[in-house]
Amino acid sequence: MDYFPVFLDLKKRRCLLVGGGDVATRKGRLLVKAGAILRVVAPQISTELRELVQQCQGEMHLREYHGSDVDDCVLAIAATDIDSLNQVISQDAKAKYIPVNVVDSPALCTYITPAIIDRSPLVIAISSGGESPVLARLIRAKLETLIPSSYGKLAQFASRWRERIKHRFADTDQRRRFWEKILQGPAAELVFNGQDAQADTLLSDAIHQEDDSLTRGEVYLVGGGPGDPELLTLRALRLMQQADVVLYDRLVSDGVMELVRRDAERIYVGKRRSEHAMEQENINQLLVDLALQGKRVLRLKGGDPFIFGRGGEEIELLAQHHIPFQVVPGITAASGCAAYAGIPLTHRDYAQSVRFVTGHLQDDSTNLQWPELAEPGQTLVFYMGLVGLAEICAALIAHGRAPDTPVALVEKGTTRDQRVLIADLATMAQTVADNNVHGPTLLIIGEVVKLHASLQWFSPAQNPVDSD
Ligand code: SAH
């Protein structure tokens, strides 16, 4: 290790900043954020840097650098583009044992600055030892997406409770285990969701009554999107990686399942049309049972849990048992398939509204409000419409929608096997019969389908078939 990492407390401490351009301004911004008092020396100083000096009640000297400028400072930064001057500043600071950084000249520095991720009070610093600052910044960008901005709130929450918990658990091991539970359990989820008061109550109950609230499980009802794992939300991914057990069904793609924590127990609960690996009531009960065992249960569903997903039913029973749960929306099949097939669901010229309709009714009929659905100027998206497809098209025509209204059938939308069949109300049933179609499929009906030909982008579909 070439450098020893430290975090400096600069609050109310004077720091010398030589230079008044962009680089100096960036450094000044960070120093002020950390509570430092600036002493800026440069013949010209940017407007923002002047404001920063005012803000921290610092000093500004519009002149060349003098050797005595480093006096009384705890830190020095040389951000000028004159090499000889940078060298002098570095020597002066070193002679007085003041840590000095010369921007972009590691050889002149006694310390270097890392790339940082600021979730104050949580701060992550990444350094390549000055060898490749760009690499450090790339790593930072990766971590930025992985670490939710709400982690700062969690650290603040932890800090508020630190003393009380230290008091409660004298034993350090015990204390560490307690914190591990808090920072990964329901209390943390409450903080992430902005429910600080509830999180406080949970913690204070846990400390005072030694009840089970911290070992209680919870359920995450998560929308896994239509197939492409890149369509997951950051929150979905985070919860998938902390779950102890996952209940998933057929619509959840392999790519998405790969992102679930490796050692999580996996339970397949089926849901193919008429082939239910597990009845809905049993799924609801299983969620409750697992959570009561203290598990963090991930209920992973295709698309969005609240769109034809029976998500509402699954959380009803949880609510009755006072089991903490959260619902994470996902990209529904209509959005995913439409985007990947280049079909905007609404369009100023063609469709002023869009309807998501189920093609599979509870009593196995497709007894819908056909007159309304046949109205022009709207896009219809049928979920679970493959079995009743011929009936759906015929009913729309019978109720007045033009037989040449374009229809798209998207098979396995957003996955690598996506296929798009284009026909119209009069011909789609035959097109499907000719093309050996397998589910899941989505039907998009309306004038917007015309745009598919021109708006099809480079999509993951390997062999899109257009058959009109
Ligand atoms: N909750 C899900 C829908 C569940 S209903 C969501 O929001 O997307 C199941 C139906 O969704 C399937 O019968 C099919 O019509 C549609 N569907 C889901 N994923 C799909 C995909 N990748 N491609 C095409 N249709 C899909």
Quick check: is 138 in a domain? no
Quick check: is 132 in a domain? no
Domain residue limits at 73: 14-113
Which protein residue's CA is at the shortest distance from atom 24 of ligand 1? 441
Distance of CA 180 from the midpoint of ligand 1 (Å): 38
Whole-angstrom distance, CA of residue 206 vs CA of residue 458: 53
Whole-angstrom distance, CA of residue 428 vs CA of residue 418: 18
Quick check: is 66 in a domain? yes
pLDDT in tens, 2-44: 899 999 999 999 999 999 999 999 999 999 999 999 999 999 9
Q: Where a domain ends, among 277, 302, 331?
A: 331
Say whether both 292 and 381 belong to one domain.
no
The one catalytic residue in 228, 249, 304, 424 is 249
Return the number of other C-beta atoms located less than 10 Å from residue 248's C-beta: 23
Distance of CA 432 from the midpoint of ligand 1 (Å): 17
Quick check: is 142 in a domain? no
pLDDT of residue 279: 86
* Mean pLDDT (whole number) for 339-350: 95
Locate 331 and state its tokens.
Answer: 């990209």
SS3 (DSSP) at 211: coil
Whole-angstrom distance, CA of residue 411 vs CA of residue 461: 10
Say whether both 239 and 358 belong to one domain.
no
Q: Is the pLDDT of residue 462 over 50?
A: no
Give 187's pLDDT tier (boundaries 50, 70, 90).
Answer: confident
Q: Where a domain ends, among 282, 316, 331?
A: 331
Q: Give 213 or 184, the one with higher predicted confidence.
A: 184
pLDDT in tens, 305-323: 999 988 888 899 999 998 9
Q: Is the pLDDT of residue 468 over 50?
A: no
Whole-angstrom distance, CA of residue 73 vs CA of residue 101: 13
Percent of the chain with pLDDT over 90: 67
pLDDT in tens, 263-284: 899 999 985 555 556 888 899 9
Compute CA distances 7 → 34, 99, 111, 284, whole Å: 10, 13, 12, 49
349 is catalytic: no
Q: Give the amino acid at 312.
A: G
The one catalytic residue in 27, 153, 271, 412 is 271
Domain count for the chain: 4
Q: 300 forms bridges with which residues in the sheet?
A: 222, 248
Say whether both 354 and 457 belong to one domain.
yes
What CATH number is attached to the domain comprising 75?
3.40.50.720
Whole-angstrom distance, CA of residue 431 vs CA of residue 408: 11
What CATH number is attached to the domain comprising 159?
1.10.8
Whether ligand 1 lies within 6 angstroms of the CB of 226 is answered as: yes
271 is catalytic: yes
Q: Give 381 or 212, the one with higher predicted confidence.
A: 381
- Phi/psi at 144 (nearest 5 deg)? -55, -40
Say whether both 96 and 29 belong to one domain.
yes
Whole-angstrom distance, CA of residue 189 vs CA of residue 394: 49
Average pLDDT of the chain, as a whole number: 90
DSSP letter, residue 272: B
Return the number of other C-beta atoms located less than 10 Å from residue 304's C-beta: 25
Whether ligand 1 lies within 6 angstroms of the CB of 343 is answered as: no
